[in-house]
């Protein structure tokens, strides 16, 4: 598919073209693209595309694979997406729900989304306890081993889930364990992790569902393992995730 670069009156052609490159990469997050393919899709010369890509790489919005030379989304876009999400439907609108959940459980609660095969925290409300899970919005976790990642993967069709595991290129034993965890989350409707990915922390995640029941995000409650038993808050987490889904409305999953 060719992306037509529309340059509004008084617009800047180079900026419009750079944004078109980002748009292409956002629309094809599962594939890295070469400079020739990007140039063809936008309808510009290869040298121009290369200059634009070099600028985007320098600023971290695009990354180039050292082995293949292909281009994909960069970490700056991940961070920007996390900040944007925190100010959109999964941000202030659902803060009261998270605050109520913190009061009921006494533990920190967060919302995470899938971005480029990782989980990124986009909103959270901290517990008041001195001993609590202290992570920031924008923190990233492995998709396959985090509680949020497991519930999002579990909501996918099995073929789509298997394709992501192929792309993650895990060691055979690690993949076997991860697939078992995801299947358990698929059956249970939630995922519980211990000491993963943070040592000394227990966590439970449940899916926040959007259009067609697909998980658009995950709601996680986490606390120190010596005092927090995730099983005790399972029903509460599920109820709050349903309430959040009602508040944010019909959002399409990114996968």
Query: What pLDDT, in 10s, does the model give residues 36-69?
Result: 999 999 999 999 999 999 999 999 889 898 889 9
Superfamily of domain 77-248: GAF domain (3.30.450.40)
Regarding pTM above 0.75, the answer is: no
pLDDT higher at 117 or 8? 117
How far is Cα 119 from Cα 138, in angstroms, rounded to an integer?
A: 9
How far is Cα 154 from Cα 244, in angstroms, rounded to an integer?
A: 19
87 pLDDT exceeds 50? no
188 pLDDT exceeds 60? yes
How far is Cα 65 from Cα 68, in angstroms, rounded to an integer?
A: 6
H helices of the chain, in order, are 13-27, 35-42, 46-58, 75-86, 95-105, 147-154, 158-168, 172-188, 234-248
**Fold classification of 13-73 (topology level):** Arc Repressor Mutant, subunit A (1.10.10)
Reported as a pLDDT band with limits 50, 70 and 90, residue 237 is: very high
Q: What is the DSSP string of 147-182?
A: HHHHHHHHTS-HHHHHHHHHHHT--HHHHHHHHHHH
Q: Are 15 and 52 in contact (CB under 8 A)?
A: no
CA distances from 8 to 1, 20, 43, 175 (A): 22, 13, 17, 48
Instruction: Name the least confident of 102-111, 133-142, 208-217, 232-241.
Output: 133-142
Residue corresponding to tokens 């509460």: 236
Domain with CATH 1.10.10.10 in the chain: 13-73
Domain with CATH 3.30.450.40 in the chain: 77-248
152 pLDDT exceeds 60? yes
10 Å Cβ neighbour count for 192? 18
């Amino acid at each position: 598919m060719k992306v037509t670069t529309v340059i509004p009156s008084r617009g800047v052609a180079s900026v419009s073209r750079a944004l078109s490159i980002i748009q292409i990469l956002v629309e094809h997050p599962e594939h890295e693209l070469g400079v020739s393919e990007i140039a063809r899709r936008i309808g510009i010369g290869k040298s121009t595309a290369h200059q634009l890509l070099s600028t985007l790489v320098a600023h971290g919005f695009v990354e180039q694979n050292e082995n293949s030379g292909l281009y994909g989304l960069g970490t700056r876009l991940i961070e920007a997406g996390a900040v944007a999400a925190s100010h959109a439907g999964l941000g202030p609108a659902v803060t009261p729900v998270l605050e109520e959940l913190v009061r009921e459980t006494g533990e920190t609660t967060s919302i995470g989304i899938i971005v480029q095969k990782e989980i990124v925290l986009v909103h959270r409300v901290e517990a008041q306890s001195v001993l609590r899970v202290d992570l920031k919005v924008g923190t990233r976790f492995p998709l396959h081993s985090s509680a949020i990642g497991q519930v999002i993967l579990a909501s996918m069709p099995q073929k789509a889930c298997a394709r992501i595991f192929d792309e993650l290129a895990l060691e055979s034993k690690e993949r076997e364990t991860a697939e078992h965890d995801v299947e358990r989350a698929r059956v249970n409707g939630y995922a519980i992790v211990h000491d993963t990915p943070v040592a000394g922390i227990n966590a439970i995640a449940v899916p926040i569902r959007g259009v067609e029941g697909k998980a658009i995000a995950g709601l996680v409650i986490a606390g120190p393992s010596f005092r927090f038993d995730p099983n005790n808050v399972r029903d509460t987490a599920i109820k709050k995730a349903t309430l959040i889904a009602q508040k944010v409305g019909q959002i399409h999953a990114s996968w």
